[in-house]
Structure 1
Amino acid sequence: MTALPARRSVRQLRLRGVGEADLDALAHLDREAFPDEPYPYFVLRQLYDVYPRHLLVLDDGTALKGYVLVGTPPDATRSWILGLGITRDERGRGHGRRLMLEVLRRLRADRVREVCLTVDPANLPAIDLYASLGFTAEPDVRADYFGPGADRLIMRLTL
């Protein structure tokens, strides 16, 4: 009798808003998703305080596996995607798309007219995701957008 290959336990990922008790786990997730440039805890704390409605996570019941964070000013003319991160073990499974579709739905309901984001020009999977959602890239990469050597592509979506 041959042994069957070990199967990874698949947990359902629940999309939900963030609570204050989630901030440590969110900081951990952000460090995993962006090891070279994670948000400092205090910044995540303040972003949670300012933008709680548009800070969504994917939770498997034991850990956070993904998040999206959007900043929207009071006039709601333009929102910015401030972060979209998925743990390494969950990438490539459509979770980023799921988070983006939900947050875009909420932004439309809030009558936001435009959504912008920045992305590393070398991050082709992210660029492809955003383009598939209707975002278009500015023609030129913004050199040193986040400081020396931190170039970014700016993408926009009219809602």
Structure 2
Amino acid sequence: MRIRTVTEEDLPELHRLDNEVFERNAYPYFVLRQFFDAYGGHLLVIDDGANLLGYVFATAPDDKVSWILSLAVRPGLQGQGLGRRLMGEILDHVRSAGVREVWLTVEPGNDTAVLLYRSMGFLAEDAPREDYFGPGQHRLVMRLTL
């Protein structure tokens, strides 16, 4: 398995993977395309030589701040450390680009993700932000100082 920057040829499979992981909350293809065009160097995938197993997206640094927009690992492969590997790689990547603060949001009930982020040093705000992504779409906002 290797972690690498996404390529344009990866976009159809990336879209399928995103739909498989996030179902009704998956990004439309055109959004993934725009992320690729805008932040391609900050969009990493992990593959086994034949298939994409996961991905992580981060924004390009803006005033030494970056956001993790999404982290996903193919169902059935979760819990094997792939998400931690992807997060470690993207954090190294943005740190080397001069980022000093990384932000992300996570569904408050996604205990596995919250525990991963906490174990990597992210701190959460005191309470989830209600309706962050719209009615009923609450998010826990977390921050890491590098």
- Deviation at residue 94 of structure 1 after TM alignment: 0.3
Matching of residues 2-151 of structure 1 within 5 Å: 13-73=1-61, 75-151=62-138
Structure of larger gyration radius = 1
- Deviation at residue 63 of structure 1 after TM alignment: 1.2
Contact conserved, 1:76 with 1:110, CA < 8 A, in 2?
A: no
- Deviation at residue 72 of structure 1 after TM alignment: 2.3
- Deviation at residue 53 of structure 1 after TM alignment: 1.1
User: What is the Cα-based RMSD across aligned positions, in Å?
Assistant: 0.9
Secondary structure at the counterpart of residue 76 of structure 2: helix
Deviations 1:38-79 (A, max 9, x none): 000000000000001110001112211100000124x34211
Contact conserved, 1:115 with 1:158, CA < 8 A, in 2?
A: yes
Contact conserved, 1:121 with 1:153, CA < 8 A, in 2?
A: yes
**More helix as a share of residues:** 2
**Structure 1 residue ranges (4+ consecutive) displaced by more than 2 angstroms after TM superposition:** none
2:110 maps to amino acid: N
Aligned residues: 146
Contact conserved, 1:114 with 1:157, CA < 8 A, in 2?
A: yes
Structure 2 length normalisation: TM-score? Answer: 0.97
Looking at structure 2, the residues matched to 76 and 82 of structure 1 have their Cα atoms a distance apart, in angstroms, of: 17
Identity %, equivalent residues = 55
Structure 1 stretch 75-84 or stretch 138-147: which is displaced more?
Answer: 75-84
Q: Which runs of 5+ in 2 are unaligned?
A: none
